[in-house]
Amino acid sequence: MRVLARLAAVLAIVTMSGCQETGGIPSHGGSGPRAIEEVPMLRTDSGTYRRGAQVTVRFTNRTNATMSYNLCRSRLERRNDEGDWVVSRSNLADGCTAEDRTLRPGQSVTYIFRIGDTTRAGLHRVSADLAEIVARSKYVAVSNTFMVTRDD
């Protein structure tokens, strides 16, 4: 009986030690990218845009980890009729280079893209792939939602 109690105690300690967070971005237990929705990382300069309008997006690293990113490969996503986010346009910026950049905790960077003239009206957001430099974990940061309106 005593051996069983000790074994249960050791098992509880081992299990609980795996639950600790190490700082940075919260762990999600999966192997794929995770949306960082708890910490606003991308922010647009308006809540409504017309087709063809210029959008300024500000990326602020609100974690305590240095992140690798390339905002040129950001995506414009639209909420479809089923409520799912679908890619409306990938590679938002024109004439970008392919290399990743780094953003230390608290740093910000901005970039500008133009909403296409044929973009469907409705609720949109911007998403961007990120990677934590030290842990090599991959994430997806999402912006606030905004409306794209028709010209007419």
Confidence of residue 133 (pLDDT cuts 50, 70, 90): confident
105 within a domain of the structure (yes/no): yes
140: domain CATH number is 2.60.40.10
Task: Give the percent of the chain with pLDDT over 90.
Answer: 43
- Lowest pLDDT segment from 37-46, 52-61, 128-137, 141-150: 37-46
How high does pLDDT run on average in the chain? 77
Integer Cα distance of 71 and 112 in angstroms:
10
Higher pLDDT, 106 or 2: 106
What pLDDT does residue 102 have? 93
**Confidence at 70, pLDDT banded by 50, 70, 90:** confident
Q: Examine residue 144 and state whether it is found in any structural domain, yes or no.
A: yes
Number of domains composing the chain: 1
The fraction of the chain above a pLDDT of 70, given in percent, is 71
pLDDT digits (tens, 9 = 90+) for 30-48: 455 655 544 568 999 999 9
Task: Kindly state whether residue 22 falls inside one of the protein's structural domains.
Answer: no
Give domain status of residue 7, yes or no: no
Instruction: Give the separation between CA 150 and CA 15, rounded to whole angstroms.
Output: 54
For residue 10, is it within any domain?
no
Of the listed ranges 32-36, 98-102, 139-143, the one predicted with least confidence: 32-36
Q: Domain range spanning residue 86?
A: 35-149
Please say whether the beta carbons of 102 and 130 come within 8 A: no
Say if pTM beats, i.e. exceeds, 0.75. no
